[in-house]
């Protein structure tokens, strides 16, 4: 029965159990989707730098795993808070960690391909959420207009870290 170190906790997996099933059985917060190795959302990395798909890997020895760091991650709008008729705060939860900090710039891309750059006002690493202010200006950014007129909690976005 291999012991898996993941995000600061140790998990004992059953013999023959794949990493994803074992981690989820212990309620570990591991990203996943298809469970068939197609989407790669369950990609993890070992401390030696090797990447693997948790849904396709059965451990026979102890492993120390971490989430990969990426410059582009998918996200979902979790809150839109209006402040004035032209300014809202948007909170986005990312499926994977993104190495950013408040004050840094990210590009948000809607499912329809609208995009705009924003300075982060908050990044909560524990909750994996990003927060930014979106201001609507007459004749301004189509993305900002979309946020104010049509975006809703639950809408999906791509979040891209500026290089």
Query: In whole angstroms, what is the distance from residue 16 CA to residue 150 CA?
Result: 47
Cα atoms found within 13 Å of the Cα of residue 50, Cβ hemisphere only: 9
Count of residues making up the chain: 163
Domain ranges, residue 16:
3-66
Write down the pLDDT at residue 163.
67
pLDDT digits (tens, 9 = 90+) for 64-93: 998 776 687 888 999 999 999 999 999 999
Does 141 lie in the same domain as 83? yes
Write down the pLDDT at residue 109.
86
CATH for 142? 2.40.30.10
The tokens describing 97, both together, are 């960690």
CATH for 12? 3.10.20.30
Write down the pLDDT at residue 49.
65
Which stretches of the chain score pLDDT less than 70?
49, 69-70, 163
């Amino acid at each position: 029965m291999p012991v898996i170190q993941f995000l600061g906790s140790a998990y004992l997996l059953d013999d023959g159990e794949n990493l994803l099933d074992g981690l989820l059985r212990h309620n570990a917060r591991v990203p996943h989707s298809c469970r068939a190795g197609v989407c790669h959302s369950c990609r993890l990395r070992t401390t030696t730098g090797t990447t693997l798909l948790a849904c396709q890997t059965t451990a026979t020895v102890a492993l120390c795993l971490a989430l990969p760091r990426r410059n582009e991650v998918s996200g979902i709008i979790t809150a839109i808070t209006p402040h004035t008729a032209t300014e809202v705060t948007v909170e986005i939860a990312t499926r994977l960690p993104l190495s950013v900090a408040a004050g840094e710039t990210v590009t948000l891309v809607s499912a329809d391909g609208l995009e705009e750059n924003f300075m982060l006002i908050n990044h909560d690493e524990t909750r994996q959420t990003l927060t930014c202010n979106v201001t609507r200006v007459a004749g301004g950014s189509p993305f900002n207009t979309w946020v104010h007129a049509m975006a809703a909690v639950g809408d999906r976005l791509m979040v891209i870290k500026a290089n």
